[in-house]
Structure 1
Amino acid sequence: MRHALIGLTALLSLAAPASAATLVGYAELPADTFAAGPASGAYSGAGLRGPARFSSQPVQGFSGVQFGKDGSYLFLSDNGYGSKANSADYLLRLYRLNLTAKTAPAGQGKVGVGDFIQLRDPDRKVPWLIVNEASPERLLTGADFDVEGFAVAPDGSLWVGDEFGPYLLHFSADGRLLDAPVATPNLPGLPTLRGQAPIVIGHRGSSGTRPEHTLEAYRVAIEGGADFIEPDLVVTKDGVLIARHEPVIATVDAAGKVLEATADVATRPEFAARLTTKKVDGVDVRGYFAEDFTLAELKTLRAGARPPALRGKTYDGQFQIPTLAEVIALVKEVEAKTGRKVGIYPETKHPTYFAAQGVNTSQLLIDTLKKEGFTDPARVFIQSFETANLKDLKTNIMPKAGVTLPLVQLVSSADEAPYDWAAKGDTRKYGVLTTDAGLKELATYASGVGAYKRWIIDDKGATTDFVTRAHAAGLLVHPWTFRNEATYLLPGYANDPEAEMRQALRAGVDGFFTDFPATGARVVGGYTAPEVRSPQNPAYALGTSSAAANVGGSGGFEGVTLSPDGKTLYALLEKTVTGDLPGQLRLHAYDPAGKQWTLAGRYGLDDTANAIGDLTPVNATQYLVLERDNFSGAAAKTKRVYLVSLNEKNADGTLKKTLVADLMNVKDPQGLAPSTQGGVFKFPYVTIENVLVLDANTILVANDNNYPGTGGRGADVKDANEFLWLKLDTPLNVVAGVGRK
């Protein structure tokens, strides 16, 4: 289904007529071209060393191009033989090439290989072990970095983009690493109320994996990464707050069948006489109620999973019903052992129902929090589906207790209503609270709104403006409830619970309730990680799990260039960062002088399976981007050069792009290239990674041949390095500082 994800940018591009540039120059470097250096190609894809396949260093795998001296060109070699594991003996270099274009049928194209700049780290700027760690020159290899685009700074130094980190690497003009690799910050953040990281709330603990509202469910939630755990609170006969979802702990029908239970009370004959019928929020409920049991009696019961048909009974009968005090003790225990400060998010259940029995659950909650010494406003949210009790907490109970804690108004579906309203004959529904006026009034007593998730993402899967409006009222937004099971997911998520969570986070929610906090923490971590890291990042080789990677393998800086004034370095990722919309790539701007990063924009791929190959300037606001599919030969379809504008965006927020040249449909009326057929030249290599503006009318394009790869010109033909001079149908708006001087 990946082709169904083509964005608005792609649709606009595909709808436009393809620009068939004209081939006005051609040259070719044979695949088997070598330069001086040690033997190479000894490592397998598994990193095992065997005999070297090559007696020296192949001149191949060009992944970036810039102008050199005296009419030459500098080409950056790629990382080696295709992976980190098999490239430990491939040396990273920039080769100086002298190109002579074939411009007429009788002419001849030539590629002369000159000297090279060896990238190295003799001053030990790289803070981790490299392949040539112990050697004096510490020559860098394809197992150390996956170098891609590069730029030549006004002072002659070199800025190189790496995909393994991803990093920016700063070298002297002769290839000496000048600074430690510059890591890539995880820039965009999320549109939360104050720019803060969203919180993950373990809904009834880790209730998707353990019986809800048990110390074990809370413990697993904390271990999974929950920032807060949620105890729903009801009251025992002897006035103790315990964690249960409802006052009824088992419902029973007229025939005696247990309909639902969170504890095994219905199996205990000693409690059979406690079976009764009560009216809860206006509805008759038959079952066993917590307030009819002392705490000691409840402690003899054991909890069960809910719903058992979906979540099984593996852990049934093992865990007690905890008190609020015990939940707080667990949180304190975790803090003492790990230093991690987890919060609690208690809900006072059915306050009107309990008030009728003479119990003020809000007062009891504050009294318990004070007694247990847990009143840090950064670690407690108090929530309720009713309104009057929250207002009482705000204006009366908390001020008298000398406590100030954030309150959250829970908002259920549009067909339901706060029971304290209904009990007084008020016919309004929850929808009233979701209007701009309702949110503004809600903000007078609450710090946040705990909305049913369909207020955030409707039943068609579309993001609403609820979060934006709630934030405008100064309210945090913590929707409920996100679950992993397919039965709770809209069809559009294709059984991927993380996709639903990501959509909510992109909408700007400040946190969310989930039955599977480990999943929630993993998703949030993709946004809140301080750095963008690929699975090849050296941190993972040092013991950190590569599961924390948030960009695909070798998905780092494929395109790197400098602005025409030489002051801003632009670096475009090859792959989408986890959590970003599929097919959108981050374009970073880096100020070398101030060492500051910003996000310059997002590039939208024609297809989510595509990748970019290079980036080069036209003027201060326009840049050329190479975009390609991952196919070669007859299967190749998309090999394109786009013009993107930093100042113009599409409706989806991506940079506006215009097709400049379709490399699968290049006019070659003179037959300059040997592969041209019927006056049409095609460039069907997997990776095309070099583009450079020569002048307003002409660009240079070259491929990365992935030596000793095959497939571009035939299944058994080694791919050569081909160099194209293309005259564009429409001139570029080139400024001084761009093009051959």
Structure 2
Amino acid sequence: MRRRQIAPVVATALAATLLAPLTTLTAAASGADHGAAAHGAPLHDASSHQTTRTVDRATLVARATLSADYLAPGPASGALATPANGRTGPFAGQVIPGFSAVLDAGDGTFWAQPDNGFGSKANSADYLLRLYHVDPHWQTSRHGALTGSGEIEVEGYISLRDPDHRFPFPIVHEDTRDRLLTGADLDIESVVRAQDGSLWIGDEFGPFLVHADRTGRVLEAPVAFPDGKSPSNPTLAAGEKPNVPSSGGFEALAASADGRYLYPVVERALLDDTQARRRWVYEYDTRKHRYTGQRWAYQTDMDGDMVADAHTVGRHRLVIAERDDFQGAKAVIKRVYTVDLDRTDAEGYATKTLLFDALDIANPGGIGAGDGYGTGDPFSLPVQSFETIVPLGHDRYLIANDNNYPGNDARVPGTPDDTEMDVVEIRPTRVATDDVTLIGHRGAPAYEPEHTLASYATAIRLCADYIEPDVVSTKDGVLVARHENEIGGTTDVASHPEFADRRTTKTIDGKAVTGWFTEDFTLAELKTLRAKERIPATRPANTALDGLYQVPTLDEVLDLARHSRTCDGKAVGVYPETKHPSYFASVGLPLEKPLLAELHRNGFDRPGSPVFIQSFEVGNLRALHRMTRLPLVQLVDCSGAPYDLRAAGDPRTYADLVTASGLRDVARYADGVGVCKDVMIPRTAAGTLGTPTTVIRDAHRAGLVVHGWTFRPENTFLPTDLRSSADPNAYGDMTAEVDAFLAAGMDGFFTDAADRGTAAIRAAARS
């Protein structure tokens, strides 16, 4: 293990850097170029004959890392740490297990604060709480060449200690002179600097606010949280119920510009909170030494997401880092939002606006390339504990990770993650745009289990314009996203013995179906299940993600969409399909009014909202036509007839709906048709693409847009002449297939692989 000789820092000269003002990397170091056109101005690129526009794009401009195995001076640590990734304690010095919080020292260096060491009180008594003074020797890219070593140099540290006995409870080093604090005393996760240079530190064990001077000496007793204690709180009495979950305290802490007010944020939902996605931002007055009683609600994207860091960027305005608990290819949410505490949405939550997605950062200079998963272009920080966001000014932000040494291995499986510091700049960037509507069919199921937030988020990153949730109802009337109401094939319900007696046979749209059905489960029960790959024989790689992700509510899908942006900077659209509407109406769970209510609650019913509502049935679309002005789409299957027509004795089939007269009738209640590919361009007897029918032309003459479904990359779904091999699961030439349909006049399409759909659209534009 590598070990550098560094000294503890208590001297005035180095500690004084804690008082320094915020500064930034220079434009020269980052190679910044702000010569792009004004935002939103369409441009014509003569070389590619494509329309382009300028959008804000998070771009990697600098990166530096510290070896995961780095050891700082001090006694051995990690004797009880959980072995992982080939590392077993004790370690011959003090581990630096990543950075949970960072302060800008103002001179190009930083003060970086690890957490309590190894994750719990029980295994961290030998870990000393410190802030390390670090100097990143940035790797940057300039004029196509990489410069800088990309290493983080550790120059010194200050130790947190309580020699004046401010703590009212025993600590590990209770009877020593210095009373150095350890990871069994506090779990320090966040830090801000007061105007006098002193430090306010957010802890998770209490959770407490801890005040220390610039050398780390505790100045006053830890401030208790007014709304409960965690299970690790040293003052928790026998029989007293905690209200803060373990590791659910002050991961994030911000301060007002003048330092008077602190804004600690609980990382997870309080235990008495009925809203699993609600987190609270509190206000503490450092002059009056008390909480003000003011708090604001923040809503996470998913139930299990954590508020990982926060900084003020104006009065009652914060930047907040939000993360899930996954790493590597399994990561879904590693995002930075701008939050306005003075504005609330329809549900009473502080409004949040996406600043950037740390899983989708442009890296044209190839900074960090080859360092493992996520270090290409785009670059990502797919670590489990993305826990640091520091505004550096001039649209630049520092992000960093806690590597939970030795446990995390997001970059290279089996190797502990290094600690890394990345500088991201929000740059005006020209991107291609077009008028073809790209719909992420059930998200991006070529790469993720369908109808999960992971699948939808991936589709957005892969440049889908719309995401498509199929909508069914729970027993308690909550709309959720599933391809069918029978969930045996898309969740792990069969492995839950408590639900074994729910397996039954029902008649759905005239067919007997056996399994488990959403309408027999409450939302709370459904949330105990996890999604799995629907077609594992075709997409075996996706089975590695089985058992990870919840069944999302429609509200969660809409939230994700409205807090995201497309690759060309527009609002992400939603394209919900009402599944089996006649059946759900027959069991007292009609879909139409709840769907419109959810769209309204999330602001998707305003003029110009990017929404299409679709259905394979006719009657509920006619009903929706009377209830809303949102665009409606009549789905057309490859064969057969709408179930509601069959049930009513109406002889019309889907083939009748796409005749010229049938399409004119559809246009009386719908704005478009979603058509099976074979109806637009049938396949020949040999399985190749045949001659286009008149359906697209006739639909356009009736004033309808035409969206085709479903374009998939695997050979088994492609025309025979576009397959790459005899392997049914290998990818073939989906680009050529899409091109044929676009040439026939199709306006947009559903695809399982939005990246390949995007490539096909661009190829068609070039041709």
TM range (shorter): 0.3 to 0.5
Q: Which has the higher contact order (CA 8 A, sep 6+)?
A: 1
Q: So what's the TM-score if we normalise by structure 2? A: 0.46
Structure whose alpha-carbon radius of gyration is higher:
1
Q: So what's the TM-score if we normalise by structure 1? A: 0.47
